[in-house]
Structure 1
Amino acid sequence: MKITSLFTCALLALAAPATAAFDLKITEMWMGNEPGSNLTEDWVEITNMGDTAWVEAVDGGLWFDDGSFDASAADPMSGIPSIAPGEAVIYVNGDAAAIDEFLSVWGLAAGSLQIGIHDGSGLGQGGDGVAIFRSVAQPTIDDIVDAQEYDDASLNGGQSWDVLVGGFSTIGNSSGAFQSALSNDEGQFAIASPPGTLVPEPTAAVLGMIALGAFAGARRS
């Protein structure tokens, strides 16, 4: 985008009235280790990019499906009653034991972030995806919230797919990815961004300040 266009968008964003809404996005997917045993069950990170909380009791529950994006086969996601603006949460494929396993592998204390569960399809190493739906009952395709796919992970065992980066996680990338506390039976660690990291609430004012700074820099150059 040209600087002038960015500046115009910033002014429009500042002038437009704010509309409070949650905006749930898939921001990270972990599909397991290769080679060797999986350190944890597959998991997906969901971040609320909006400016108000999602509340399950009010807004309807979340449902999971893999890359088939089949609403009729989607499975309910549970254990997280709400997601605040800017908050990132984790849903692990499994049960309560899978949550404990996740915390141990990443060296995290219980209660340090919200972790829910689902019993959906596992994620494949050869390339797959995640679809999230929102509905009170079994969803339809019209209830889709977000859907993301990742490339063949066969040569990137243990590395999550970072949606914001657009690639497999590497230590020290722009998302601050790091290595897990434990390795699998083949000595392979997992690599992902800090699970459950909070992100700044994306307000029009912040976007405007960034754009104005970029415009000013362009004028000086």
Structure 2
Amino acid sequence: MRNTSSVIEWFKNIQDKEKYTFISFDIVEFYPSITRSLLEKALTMAKDHTHISNQDVQIIMHSRKSLLFDNGTPWMKKGHNDLFDVTMGSYDGAEVCELVGLYILNTLAREYGKEYIGLYRDDGLAAFKSTNGSKADRIRKHMISLFKELGLNITIDCNLKITNFLDVTFNLNTGKHYPYRKPNDHPVYIHRNSNHPPNIIRSLPASISRRISATPTTR
């Protein structure tokens, strides 16, 4: 799931929605939990689908070295003896996160099929058909176990008919979706005289219009 539009399209493609329930999960501290071993597995998987040279791999792994220093000493994670890290807030870190996310999806797809399961960074959403309480609990326990094998922890909610994902609420009972905003979350737009690139400022009205049009407000 690349963005809100792709999630909405995914939801629309679920047939007989009333027969499904959601399972929503969140990867705890995703970026800092990505290990060298997990990234190496993701790169190995990626090589089956596209060309990645040994030099590319070396560059990717070399870029994982931390650049934080404390009193002249490089910072490293507790319990680690190298400088490997996946930093947040940078394009490079986000791309590594995306790659590992694809590996996670590939792992989940082998267990549950790929049609009705998706992941956006550290947030995941799946739809399962004819899932009662006991079956949903078995899936919950199995998914927790799968993520632990990858060195990751998740929080998970099962047997949901209504859920919030990204900035949209999805309702399997009614088949409708509508905008979702977290409590106390107020939209803030950049000023027209800000120092953002002019092309960004010019494109904002059209971007906002597309976003509003893409998400119906009816419930």
**Alignment TM-score, normalising by the size of structure 1:** 0.22
* Structure number with higher helix proportion: 2
**Alignment TM-score, normalising by the size of structure 2:** 0.22
Structure of greater Rg? 2
* Structure number with higher strand proportion: 1
